[in-house]
């Protein structure tokens, strides 16, 4: 699933293809905006906010998209046939490039002045200019009885963390995912660890949290159930946490993350 680093890179890729060029085609394949037409408007920029993408165009409009579970923006030279077929939700193209959004979980067109309606609820973004670890920690601690594993996925506390960075962050922090946030110690340190991992991977297509590029060694715990912990040799556990439909896989080392 795309997390903050992937969304950040996607925004950069869209920016390189679309920024400063007038659109010669816009094709919204969602019922709500099927008749929208941005042809002739210049794209100003695409910003990422947690897992959300905001493509701002001339005339005070913003295209809001979200990759959700498995969406993607594919960028290709104009005119080239692009895969996607029925899964395409939005095409934005100019004379040189086409950006094709497939399996997008959200496609909205709104006034740039109204962006707060779609991203205003989000907590600080570790990769954003407004990153504020104290505020993120404060928001996590607003519900001190909730497990830290569940809390880290709450986009209202901090925006951009998914199941991979949750598991890896908690391993590095040495904290069990089931420990209540209020008993997790220095929560600001935890969110800074998450920021460090996202920061280290934001320009890197092959995600790694260990720094080890060898196959099977790029992650400390995520996806390694039943295998030996790279730090202590203990067996990595796997479980599910959170109320449905938020229930998502968690991986952790019982020895390195006691409790």
State which residue, 49 or 224, has the beta carbon closest to Zn ion. Answer: 224
CA distances from 89 to 16, 40, 98, 110, 221 (A): 21, 20, 13, 16, 34
Does residue 231 bind Zn ion (CB under 5 A)? Answer: yes
Binding mask 102-141 for Zn ion (x = CB under 5 A): ----------------------------------------
State which residue, 73 or 220, has the beta carbon closest to Zn ion. Answer: 220
Binding mask 59-98 for Zn ion (x = CB under 5 A): ----------------------------------------
Query: Judged by CB under 5 A, which stretch of 42-50, 68-76, 130-138, 230-238 contacts Zn ion?
Result: 230-238
Query: At its nearest, how many Å lie between Zn ion and the CB of residue 231?
Result: 5
State which residue, 91 or 172, has the beta carbon closest to Zn ion. Answer: 172
- The span from the CA of 5 to the CA of 51, in Å, is 9
Query: At its nearest, how many Å lie between Zn ion and the CB of residue 253?
Result: 3
**3-state helix/strand/coil string of 84-140:** CHHHEEEEEECCCEEEEEECCCEEEEEEHHHCHHHHCCCCCCCCCCCCCHHHHHHHH
Q: Per CB under 5 A, which of residues 234..253 are in contact with Zn ion? A: 234, 253
Does residue 256 bind Zn ion (CB under 5 A)? Answer: yes
CB proximity list for 15: less than 8 A, separation 6 or greater: 45, 46
Count other C-beta atoms under 10 Å from residue 11's C-beta: 21
Q: How many residues bind Zn ion (CB under 5 A)?
A: 7
Closest CA to 57 of 73, 72, 67, 46: 46
- The span from the CA of 190 to the CA of 80, in Å, is 45
Kindly tell me which residue out of 47, 158, 198, 229 binds Zn ion, with binding defined by CB under 5 A.
229
The residues annotated with a catalytic role in the active site are 2-3, 51, 248
Give the count of alpha carbons within 13 A of 240, CB side only: 6
The residues binding Zn ion (CB under 5 A) are 229, 231-232, 234, 253, 255-256
């Amino acid at each position: 699933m795309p997390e903050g680093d992937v969304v950040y890179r996607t925004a950069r890729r869209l920016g390189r293809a679309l920024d400063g060029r007038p659109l010669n085609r816009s094709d919204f394949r969602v019922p709500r905006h099927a008749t929208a037409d941005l042809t002739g408007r210049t794209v100003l920029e695409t910003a990422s906010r947690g897992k959300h993408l905001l493509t701002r165009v001339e005339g005070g409009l913003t295209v809001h998209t979200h990759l959700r579970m498995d969406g993607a923006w594919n960028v290709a030279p104009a005119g080239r046939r692009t895969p996607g077929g029925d899964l395409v939700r939005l095409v934005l193209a100019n004379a040189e490039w086409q950006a094709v959004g497939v399996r997008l979980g959200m496609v909205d067109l709104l006034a740039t002045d109204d962006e707060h309606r779609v991203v205003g609820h989000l907590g600080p973004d570790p990769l954003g200019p407004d990153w504020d670890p104290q505020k993120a920690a404060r928001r996590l601690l607003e519900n001190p009885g909730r497990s830290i594993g569940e809390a880290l996925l709450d986009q209202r506390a901090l925006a951009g963390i998914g199941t991979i960075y949750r598991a890896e962050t908690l391993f590095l922090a040495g904290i069990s995912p089931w420990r209540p946030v209020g008993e997790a110690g220095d929560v600001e340190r935890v969110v800074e660890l998450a920021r460090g991992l996202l920061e280290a991977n934001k320009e890197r297509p092959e995600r790694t949290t260990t720094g080890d590029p060898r196959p099977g060694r790029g992650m400390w715990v995520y996806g390694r159930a039943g295998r030996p912990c790279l730090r202590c040799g203990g067996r990595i556990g796997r479980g599910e946490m959170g109320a449905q439909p938020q229930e998502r896989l968690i991986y952790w080392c019982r020895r390195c993350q006691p409790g």
